[in-house]
């Protein structure tokens, strides 16, 4: 049956995708459904943040003397709780946790691993700006039992799925399994993600550049020249848009076209963003949508991580703008 916009929920869409692979066991479908479940709980809490006294530091207490949780701690817990008992994964890694997260011994271990940034852009929560969750799914390289660090030292090219959830004016779940990118909008009245953005394709070029220009004086001159080039381009008038919340900046540019940059600078040569939890999943998505992501010298998906929390410069977006960046970076221009 053809998939119909507006009435196709995420579960149905995942099932239809699964049927394209007769050898599929459904493991994968369950993992994505559980991530979407965690996203709904996080979304509910994010929406409540303005009216309930949930904001604040993890070590502060509320008027009842109960321990308050920061939303990023809450989101981290919900992601772990949604996934740890499935029997489909052997370990997880989170931006919020130093080491890999093992599956409790009482649960079986599966062949996948999940990496996630539970609440990206969390410094924006207090000011009601869109934030997000980013995730990636890999197949383990170890053979059985608990997952190990080696399982996580895989290039983004090995991702079998990646996605993000944006908690914005509506909550959206966007994901790819390497067969295009699809977006679902949460209908809070029924608590379901409904297909709203089928087969998302990013424009070949855009008119937006997104970078924290306050760092201008810390940038390499190649980056300054590139940004100047965009500002002075004859063919098109660029506009600058920078929310400072990666998922929100990425989502806008994915739909409208353009480029997001968080480069290294003379204070932070590797930039600020994490390879495993942020750059690789978004790079997989952008490539699936027809765009590109690089760190300057390398395609993000080809970088083999050396450690879990490694940072990377990130230049991501439409092909035209990212290819142009590569030319500036290699001094071809
Ligand atoms: P945040 O510090 O609010 O968590 O990943 C971190 C991140 O946000 C990204 O979401 C965002 O793109 C970036 O930092 C913003 O950094 P700057 O404030 O340095 O521009």
240-297 pLDDT, tens digit per residue, is: 999 999 999 999 999 999 999 999 999 999 999 999 999 999 999 999 999 999 999 9
Indicate the length of the chain as a whole number.
Answer: 333
The pLDDT score that the predictor gives to residue 228 is 97
Cβ 309 vs Cβ 333: under 8 Å = no
CB-CB neighbours of 150 under 10 Å? 10
Structural contact between residues 40 and 227, judged by C-beta atoms closer than 8 angstroms: no
Residues with CB under 6 A from ligand 1: 120-124, 212, 244-246, 249, 272-273, 278
- 123 CA closest ligand 1 atom index: 3
pLDDT at 68: 42
pLDDT, one tens digit per residue, over 116-141 is 999 999 888 878 899 999 999 999 99
C-alpha Rg value of the chain to the nearest Å: 20
Choose the residue to mutate in 71, 118, 120 for probing ligand 1, maximizing ligand atoms within 8 Å of C-beta: 120
Contact in structure between 3 and 198 (CB atoms under 8 Å): yes
Nearest CA to ligand 1 atom 8: 121
pTM: 0.94
Residue closest to 317 by CA, chosen among 297, 299, 290, 298: 290
Q: For all residues of the chain together, what is the average pLDDT?
A: 92
User: What residues have CB less than 8 Å from 115, skipping those under 6 apart?
Assistant: 92, 93, 94, 135, 136, 137, 138, 152, 276, 277, 280, 281
């Amino acid at each position: 049956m053809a998939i119909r916009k507006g009435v196709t929920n995420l579960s149905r869409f995942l099932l239809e995708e699964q049927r394209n692979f007769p050898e599929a066991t459904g493991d994968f479908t369950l993992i994505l459904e559980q991530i979407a479940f965690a996203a709904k709980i996080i979304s509910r809490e994010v929406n409540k943040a303005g009216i309930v006294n949930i904001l604040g530091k993890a070590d502060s207490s509320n008027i009842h003397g109960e321990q308050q949780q920061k939303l990023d701690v809450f989101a981290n817990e919900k992601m772990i709780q949604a996934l740890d008992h499935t029997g489909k994964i052997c370990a997880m890694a989170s931006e919020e946790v130093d080491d890999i997260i093992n599956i409790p011994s009482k649960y079986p271990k599966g062949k996948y691993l999940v990496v996630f940034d539970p609440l990206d852009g969390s410094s924006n929560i207090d000011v009601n700006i869109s934030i997000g969750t980013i995730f990636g799914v890999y197949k383990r390289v170890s053979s059985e039992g608990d997952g190990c660090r080696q399982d996580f030292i895989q290039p983004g090219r090995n991702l079998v799925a990646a996605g993000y959830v944006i908690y914005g004016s509506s909550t959206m779940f966007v994901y790819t399994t390497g067969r295009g990118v699809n977006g679902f909008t949460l209908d809070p009245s029924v608590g379901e993600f409904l297909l709203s953005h089928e087969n998302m394709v990013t424009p070949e070029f855009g008119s937006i550049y997104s970078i924290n220009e306050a760092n201008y004086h810390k940038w390499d001159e190649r980056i300054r020249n590139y940004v100047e080039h965009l500002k002075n381009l004859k063919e098109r008038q660029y506009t600058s848009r920078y929310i400072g919340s990666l998922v929100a900046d990425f989502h806008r540019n994915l739909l409208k076209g353009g480029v997001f940059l968080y480069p290294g600078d003379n204070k932070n040569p590797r930039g600020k963003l994490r390879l495993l939890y942020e750059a690789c999943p978004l790079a997989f998505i952008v490539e699936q949508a027809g765009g590109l992501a690089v760190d300057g010298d390398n395609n993000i998906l080809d970088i083999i991580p050396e450690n879990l929390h490694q940072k990377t410069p990130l230049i991501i977006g439409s092909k035209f703008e990212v290819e142009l960046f590569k030319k500036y970076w290699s001094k071809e221009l």
